[in-house]
Structures are given as C-alpha cells and as structure tokens.
C-alpha cells in the first residue's frame, strides 16, 4: 500500500512557542504576560447586546442572510467618511470589510506574494503576520528603523510590499516618528513598493497627540484615493475582539484584488457583526469608551514599568512605550535564551513571549514581549517578581 500524500511543506517550518503559551492558560494561578489581550471589562456588553437584538429584528435579511463579499455598503461608506481627511478622499471603493485584522494580513499574502518573493518588514515583526504569510514562503528583509543609518528606499527596493505597525508596534511598542513615516511614504512612491500600515493600536496613545497616519501622508488630493498605502484597521481593541470585524483601506485596484481573494477564503464577513459595528460607530460608542480605556491601560503600563524598574534593571533594558499594549525588553546578558526563559517562567507561574517568534528566521532569542493591558497592577507586579526569579534561575542554568 502506498503511503498517504504528505502535508504541505510549510507546516514543517513552525515552532512550538505559540502552542506552548496558548496551552499555558490551563496552568493554575498563572500570570499571563504573553498575550496581546484587551481587558474584558472594557467590552461594552450591554450596548452590543442591545445592538445585536435590534439589528436582527430591523435588518433581518441583511444580517442573517448572505452579505456582499466586500462588506455592507453602509459600513464601507461610514469607514470611508471616518478616515477621509484633508487631501485624503475615500469612497466605499477604497474599503474592504474583513473578518478581523488577521484576514487582512492573510489576503495581503494571497494578492501580493508568489512563493519566494520579498517582504520588507519592520523588525521585530508581528507574529500573526509572519504566520499568515508562511505558506507563501517569502523572503524577508528586516527594516530596523531605530538605527541612524536606516534607508527606507534601499530597504523597499525590489520588495513586493513593506509591512509596518507604526503606532506602538507589536511587539516592540515603538512609535514611528513623523519624519520616518514621511520617508517611508516617499520610498513607496519612488520604488513602486506597496506600503502596508497595520494599525490595531492607533487609538491607544497615552502620552502626546496622535501622529498622522501614513495613509494621510500619502494622499495627493485625488478624487478617489489611489496611493501606495494599504491601511489595515480593526474593532478588536476598540470594541471587542469577538466581533471579528476589520477593514482594509487602499487604492480601488487593491480592494478589487483582495475582494477576489476573500471570495475564496470566507465568502463574506458576518453581516450581523458588521451591522453591530456600524450601530456602534453611528452612536459614537468607540469615542465614548476611549477615555476610560486610556485611563485603565495608562495606569497598568505605569504599574508594569515601575515593577520592572524595581525587579529587572540588572537583567533587561527597555523603553517605556507611549501607547499600545506592550513593553519590549532586551536581556543584558547575551547568554540568556528567552525561548528557554519562557519555559522556565512557566515553572515559576509566569508566561512571556520570547523574541524568536517575532523574527521570521527564528534566530533572535535575547528579548521578550510583555503585555500590560490584561492584568491589574497587583497581578502585573507579581508577574514581574516571578519573571525576575525565573530569569535568574535560567541564567544560573546557562552559566
């Protein structure tokens, strides 16, 4: 009897880190600092329940039947109006509704990448994006934008697209300054490389005023936006991740291509969830929730960084992020392997994300990503105490 046909080769190019920290949730009394999770107390449960009941009754066929592949026209119109600003003129032709931000990433791979082509990626890079594009077997060119000699045009030349998370990057928490945003837009224009602006954290500014989006900086006053930026947004951090409603804003040709790819992916995003999201927008719910979310997360960021200052200064270096959900800490001792630290941390009752999963080559094992939005200050402090003990244990093992 012949053997069964093998599975796709890309499945062999994986690691067990993600499975490890997802399974870690079953450990009693675990302090989870690994995820990128919003606090459930921020979810507007009563409002969303009310909206869902109303739209099922008032828009029955639309929300319970099949929906347009590219999204409900009313929601696309609303997002286009929300983001139109100055020289940026958007219509529904610039908007695709996706099943969460992750589907936007998946569709990018389908429409831009043939196997082996190059992505210029802000480094370190978002794990979900790396996973989404793995079946396409891309080559990566790291964009380390913190260096003084970073050359956006050189980095983007020959790449299919450049992937960035300019507002409080996952995982580094870095805010890309305005001059660098302008340089990235100029490089996209000069090289013909598409510039992806993934923006799940753009409303989470704790210090200072929001910087202009690259989408805005790329606008040229055209009647319908036709620039090089592909902008990804989501309601996961503004309302609730379970809605699974995100969007792509781009030139109409990209929206058409991604709609074609979406047709073979999930056919359409839930009409019920789309209509609930539209109700929330029309009633100004995200704006009403935002001040409370910012106060909560700012307090938790400060508590985490205070605990790190007390417990980890001899072990890691880091910067206090101006927004977002993460602190990126680099080990002072190059002998520390943070893949091993993650497993040692679990023995001590704390879970962190090691840097290897944010490196497309899996080689960076000297840093960790720590989340502060999920846990209250006392739990964050206890988690950092456990992390300090785990780190010292691992360093003794490595000696």
Distance CA 221, CA 218 (A): 9
Contacts of 186 (CB under 8 A, 6+ apart): 152, 153
Identify the pLDDT of residue 329. 98
The helix, strand and coil proportions of the chain, stated in percent and rounded to the nearest 5, come to 45, 15, 40
Longest dimension (CA), the chain: 68
pTM: 0.95
Number of H helices, E strands in the chain: 14, 13
Identify the pLDDT of residue 21. 64
CB 309 within 8 A of CB 323: no
Beta partners for residue 169, in sequence order: none
pLDDT by 10-residue block (mean), the chain, 399 residues:
83 72 77 92 97 96 95 98 96 98 97 96 96 95 92 97 97 96 98 98 96 97 96 96 97 98 96 98 97 98 98 98 98 96 95 95 95 97 98 93
Beta partners for residue 354, in sequence order: 368
Cα separations (Å) of 329 from 147, 305, 341, 356?
17, 11, 13, 13
Instruction: For Cα atoms 118, 120, 122, give the angle at the middle one, nearest 5 degrees.
Output: 150
Burial of 143 (0-12, 13-18, 19+ CB in 10 A): buried
Beta strand 316-318 pairing with 326-331: antiparallel
Identify the pLDDT of residue 96. 98
């Amino acid at each position: 009897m012949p053997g069964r046909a093998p599975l796709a080769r890309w499945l062999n190019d994986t690691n067990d880190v993600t499975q490890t920290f997802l399974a870690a949730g079953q450990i009693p009394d675990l302090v989870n600092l690994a995820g990128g999770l919003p606090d459930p107390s921020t979810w507007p449960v009563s409002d969303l329940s009310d909206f869902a009941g109303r739209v099922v009754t008032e828009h029955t066929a639309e929300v319970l039947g099949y929906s347009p592949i590219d999204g409900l026209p009313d929601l696309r119109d609303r997002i286009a109006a929300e983001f139109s600003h100055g020289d940026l003129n958007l219509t529904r032709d610039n908007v695709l509704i996706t099943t969460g931000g992750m589907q936007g990433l998946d569709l990018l791979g389908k429409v831009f990448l043939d196997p082996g082509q190059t992505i210029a990626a802000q480094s370190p890079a978002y794990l979900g994006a790396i996973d989404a594009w793995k079946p396409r077997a891309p080559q990566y060119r790291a964009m380390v934008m913190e260096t003084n000699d970073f050359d956006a045009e050189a980095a983007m030349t020959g790449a299919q697209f450049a992937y960035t998370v300019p507002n409080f990057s996952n995982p580094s928490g870095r805010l890309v300054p305005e001059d660098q945003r302008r340089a990235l837009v100029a490089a996209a224009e000069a090289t013909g490389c598409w510039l992806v602006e993934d923006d799940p954290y753009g409303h989470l500014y704790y210090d200072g005023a929001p910087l202009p989006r690259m989408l805005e900086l790329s606008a040229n006053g055209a009647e319908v936006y036709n620039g090089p930026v592909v902008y990804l947004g989501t309601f996961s951090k503004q309302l609730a991740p379970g809605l699974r409603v995100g969007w792509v804003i781009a030139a109409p040709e990209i929206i058409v291509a991604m709609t074609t790819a979406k047709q073979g992916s999930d056919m359409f995003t839930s009409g019920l969830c789309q209509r609930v999201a539209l109700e929330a927008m029309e009633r100004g719910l995200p704006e009403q929730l935002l001040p409370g979310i910012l106060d909560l997360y700012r307090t938790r960021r400060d508590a985490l960084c205070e605990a790190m200052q007390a417990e980890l200064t001899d072990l890691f270096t880091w910067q206090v992020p101006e927004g977002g959900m993460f602190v990126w800490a680099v080990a002072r001792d190059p002998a520390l392997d943070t893949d091993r630290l993650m497993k040692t941390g679990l023995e001590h009752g704390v879970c962190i994300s090691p840097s290897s999963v944010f490196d497309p080559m899996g080689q960076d094992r000297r840093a960790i990503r720590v989340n502060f939005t999920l846990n209250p200050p006392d739990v964050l402090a206890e988690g950092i105490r456990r992390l300090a003990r785990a780190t010292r244990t691992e360093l003794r093992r490595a000696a």
